Structure 1
Amino acid sequence: MTGPGGPVSGAGDDAARPVPGPEPSSPVPTFGDRFLARAREHGRLCVGIDPHPGLLRDWGLPVDVSGLREFSRRCVEAIADEACLVKPQVAFYEAFGSAGFAVLEETLAALRGTGALVVADAKRGDIGSTMAGYARAWTDPASPLRADAVTVSPYLGVGSLAPVVEAGERTGTGVIILAATSNPEGPQVQGADAGGRSVAQDVVDRVSALNAAAVARGGAGTVGVVVGATVTDPPRLDEVGGVVLMPGVGAQGGTAADVRRIAGAAERLVSPNISRGVLAAGPDVDALRAAARDAGALFR
């Protein structure tokens, strides 16, 4: 006879025969750790899937759901094996209503099947049960919209994002928080003083605290930030401890040198995002693939 922790003496012939206990559950890998693993094989590039109407027309596709679907299909085929992260821009799918969301679900499923890490660029942000609803949509393994990471907005306070951060910790889904964005309007809010540091730095510092446990064990955490490559007074990223999505490279003027300057000691966690420069090579799949490969060669 045995108890839950092993054999119990005086229990007959079975007393000396230990019974193994339950296997300890393995921790869910963080998004940061999964990013680092994929980056070792594929480099650190992020490529966006941005099916805006002008680009659909440039590709000779109709500005309707059929064009959206074909654009997305070609992007998946061309880009998935050439990038570390693939980032569908949710707004361009949402513009077509439920039919557009259906195409987004198809695209997310196709990307998951390739092994690429998928960032849903949704920029959601709210409080309480509403934020929990967004968390279920983008992180729940049973959701057709589930992604490897989702972008979120901290305008209601980083603490308001707790439901999605907690869901990300449970499921290994990345939560990438806007900190210092590449648009020219950003500094008005992001550069404002927040107790002796910028709002952007405050966001980064709070993310560092959320990732501290993962960093202490030698890894990278689930929570990341968005910091643009064109930001003139960027937050310090040395201790961020999570993935840094860095838009603004290429068409917006950011360079590989800008990426290195802003990244500092966090360079291995920085994923430069190049979308327009790659997508302009379409609609030919081989040309798209070559453009993604050339862009990725800068960030290996």
Structure 2
Amino acid sequence: MSGTSETTFGRRLRAATAAHGPLCAGIDPHRTLVESWGLSYDLEGLTRFTETCVEAFAGHVGIVKPQSAFFEVFGSAGVAVLERATRALQEAGTLVLVDAKRGDIGSTMAAYAEAFLGKDAVAPGDAVTLSPYLGFESLRPALDLAAQTGRGVFVLALTSNPEGRSVQHARLRDTSVAESIVRSAAAENAAAGERGELGSVGLVVGATVGTAVQELQLDLAAVNGPLLAPGVGAQGGTSDDLRRVFGDALPNVLPASSREVLSAGPDVSALRDRARSTSQAMAGLLR
């Protein structure tokens, strides 16, 4: 079920991970993966790949993260595949985090917010990823609309790509850019914390950022929001990495895995079993 003003994304996420574990399973239909399943890299292959993932994950995984770009590459027909998948997952009770990484200013940001979070959007997910590098407050239209519609946002904070350091590690007087984003997210979640609930403004923090959290003195536990951790599995992130990066914030971590889980396809049962076993393993670690 998509978000409403009566229920927050944070509440629904807590319920979903309690029922199915913390794994955020990716749907990343890029050429190499699609072809590794014996499918053609075209609209038909995209559709079959996506429908297989939906059949495997719907009702069995707490939250699923389709990467919007891999659908957009096929134009409006590809976006329609994403929209159908979003509806099907939500109807089965699985939350959908659309990985779109949108970020802009003014009326353009407001339009992105309406497209991904609005009550009249065609097929909105339960949450969307956002880029704050035009300034955290440039995201205000999305932050406010998500709060109104009961949806969530995940803001890029500390990513594992080497290029990110030049921006995220940069300092503004005595505060790094990454720290300013972490503090801003914590402020957005303050009211939820006062109610003893998980906030709906999450962050994206790579599982393989090493000691950067300590070096930049980021208080991730104080965010009181979900922490999406890409990089687990095929990208090299280990259980030790998660402990090192997230520390006391481990209970709020959503380990994201795409390639490692999807490598079990195209068999639906094998794909579902891989997602379940990965989620169980992650749940044991995060406890």
TM above 0.5, one fold? yes
Q: 2:35 aligns with which of 57, 79, 91?
A: 57
> What residue is the counterpart of 1:250 in the other structure?
233
Please list the CA deviations of residues 196-220 of structure 1 after superposition, one character each: whole Å capped at 9, or x if unmatched. Answer: 2321121011100111011011111
Q: 2:53 aligns with which of 71, 75, 78?
A: 75
Q: Give the C-alpha shift of residue 27 in structure 1.
A: 5.8
In structure 2, what is the Cα distance between the partners aligned to 1:170 and 1:153? 20
Greater C-alpha radius of gyration? 1
> What residue is the counterpart of 1:120 in the other structure?
98
Q: Counterpart of 1:124 in structure 2: which amino acid?
A: R
Please list the CA deviations of residues 267-289 of structure 1 after superposition, one character each: whole Å capped at 9, or x if unmatched. Answer: 22110001110011111111111
In structure 2, what is the Cα distance between the partners aligned to 1:35 and 1:261? 24
1:150 aligns with 2:128: yes
Which segments of 5 or more consecutive residues in structure 2 lack a partner in the other structure? Answer: none
Deviates more, 1:88-97 or 1:280-289: 280-289
CA contact (8 A) 2:59 2:89 kept: no
CA contact (8 A) 2:27 2:66 kept: yes
Where 1:86 maps in the other structure, the secondary structure is strand
Where 1:273 maps in the other structure, the secondary structure is strand
CA contact (8 A) 2:5 2:149 kept: no
Q: Provide the TM-score with structure 2 as the length reference.
A: 0.92
In structure 1, what is the Cα distance between the partners aligned to 2:187 and 2:270? 42
Q: Give the C-alpha shift of residue 111 in structure 1.
A: 1.0
CA contact (8 A) 2:189 2:200 kept: yes
CA contact (8 A) 1:236 1:262 kept: no
> What residue is the counterpart of 2:141 in the other structure?
163
> What residue is the counterpart of 2:277 in the other structure?
294
Equivalenced residue count is 275
In terms of fraction of residues, the more helix-rich structure is 2
Q: Give the C-alpha shift of residue 252 in structure 1.
A: 1.2
1:229 aligns with 2:207: yes
Q: Counterpart of 1:61 in structure 2: which amino acid?
A: L
Where 2:96 maps in the other structure, the secondary structure is strand
Please list the CA deviations of residues 111-157 of structure 1 after superposition, one character each: whole Å capped at 9, or x if unmatched. Answer: 11111110000000001111111111111233223010000000100
> What residue is the counterpart of 1:279 in the other structure?
262
Q: Give the C-alpha shift of residue 47 in structure 1.
A: 0.7
In structure 2, what is the Cα distance between the partners aligned to 1:198 and 1:253? 26
Q: Give the C-alpha shift of residue 266 in structure 1.
A: 2.1
Where 2:64 maps in the other structure, the secondary structure is strand
1:270 aligns with 2:248: no
> What residue is the counterpart of 1:197 in the other structure?
175
CA contact (8 A) 2:54 2:88 kept: yes
Where 2:25 maps in the other structure, the secondary structure is strand
1:37 aligns with 2:15: yes
Q: Give the C-alpha shift of residue 79 in structure 1.
A: 1.9
